[in-house]
Structure 1
Amino acid sequence: MTDPDHRARLRDLEAKIEALKAPKAAKSHTEEHYSQAQLAWRMVIELVAGLLIGFGIGYGLDSLFGTLPIFLVLFTLLGLAAGINVMIRSAKEIQQTQEAEAAKDNTAAGGRDERAKDGD
């Protein structure tokens, strides 16, 4: 026979195991939507900022030297290239972050499976 303290500990252990086996609550669609929209706006703002900075530098140089809008066109194109470069870097950073989170989730799920197998 087992004593009551042992039975209570067993019940607590079983409750913890069931809690770990329960599926995680999925993120709601609206939270995912807003986080993706936030990332998209970040990229748009980076591109537009590059264009505006290039435009401003080109316009300033053209008015300073009194030239045709050669600097305006040149620096606007350079600003566009810089904005695209920053967008690509941001996309790579976001991708690495998402891959790291997915790997962490897979590792955590694998650890739970191992503990469940050991208990059998």
Structure 2
Amino acid sequence: MAPDRADDDLDARRKRLGSDLAGRRASAGRAEEKTRASTGTGYAQAVKLSSEFIAAVAVGFALGYGLDEWAGTKPWGMIVFLLLGFCAGVLNVMRSAGVIAQPQERVTRGGKTNGSERRTDGE
């Protein structure tokens, strides 16, 4: 009778290990899917932020170049607008990344948002 009992114990142990292994494989599959999704989201965020920055610098350059051609002030317009485009690009990236608040989300000391309140007291 001892060999039957040992075989029953081994079968029970094998079934328990098989169910544990199936559970771990399922959780590993879910973790892998999460990792793939977060990696794709990270790449999308990086492309979005870099394109916003490059677009701002390119618009600043184009406006400065156009002003220089029109006014004949080479290279000062291009330099000034290129720097303004760079600053605008950095600001856009910081807003998109959530480092600073959007303009409509800024709150004054009185609890009202900037630019949205209308004074009616004559001031």
State the TM bucket, normalised to the shorter chain.
0.5 to 0.7
Please name the residue that 1:35 is paired with. 41
Question: Given residue 67 of structure 1, which amino acid in structure 2 is its aligned partner?
Answer: T
Structure 1 residue runs without a partner (length 5+): 1-22, 94-120
Secondary structure of 1:28 counterpart: helix
Aligned residue pairs total 72
Please name the residue that 1:66 is paired with. 72
Please name the residue that 1:75 is paired with. 81
- Higher RCO (C-alpha 8 Å, min separation 6): 1
- Take 2:54 and 2:41, find their aligned partners in 1: how far apart are those partners? 20
Please name the residue that 2:97 is paired with. 91
Q: What do you get for the CA RMSD once the two structures are aligned?
A: 2.2
Please name the residue that 2:107 is paired with. none
Normalised by the length of structure 2, the TM-score is: 0.53
Structure 2 residue runs without a partner (length 5+): 1-26, 100-123
- Take 1:57 and 1:42, find their aligned partners in 2: how far apart are those partners? 22
- Structure in which a larger fraction of residues adopt helix: 1
- Take 1:68 and 1:52, find their aligned partners in 2: how far apart are those partners? 17
Larger Rg: 2
Q: What do the CA deviations read for 1:17-42 (whole angstroms, capped 9, x no partner)?
A: xxxxxx7x334322211110100110
- Take 1:49 and 1:58, find their aligned partners in 2: how far apart are those partners? 14
Secondary structure of 1:76 counterpart: helix
- Take 2:55 and 2:34, find their aligned partners in 1: how far apart are those partners? 32
Please name the residue that 1:18 is paired with. none
